Chain A
């Protein structure tokens, strides 16, 4: 069965420091991978997605993620964190095929706090 693991429930970084949020997936075929961000009490916003091609994906707000098939990972990175990046981040995997349609499986989320 498909699954997504985000090992870090909560991460705190200083403003201006670099950030890496981890995501590991379990999936038998080529996965379609997503990172979403959620501010408190709000819906989810797509940061970036990987379907195929270049394994380093650029997203909005200065985020990027790298797909590593050998490690079943899709970690999210940002070189310099801003206070406004404080939010919850979700990794998701989907296949977009067959009777599963566009169903996504979400990780548990990582809450990011930013210290001034």
Chain B
């Protein structure tokens, strides 16, 4: 039972354009959502998070949007840079520390 899904395994965008990564979840009890970025041969690095009481959180070039009625969240990167090329994981959790991760989306930003 995949509670958190990233349906796009890969995404390719041009440098300077917007990257939009999507994530769907099934468990309405999740109250905290996160995005992690992972480079090869490294562990995931925390990028940005959002609480279920919000619908948007912004940090520099990164914005996460949460649509609770659709059980959907997205990560927007504007403008995209070649250094953003990595695997992006969305994750969801409740008030415990256990996180449920999606399968990841590989983003390639072309110069």
A and B are interacting partners: no
Interface residues of B, Cβ cutoff 8 Å to A: none
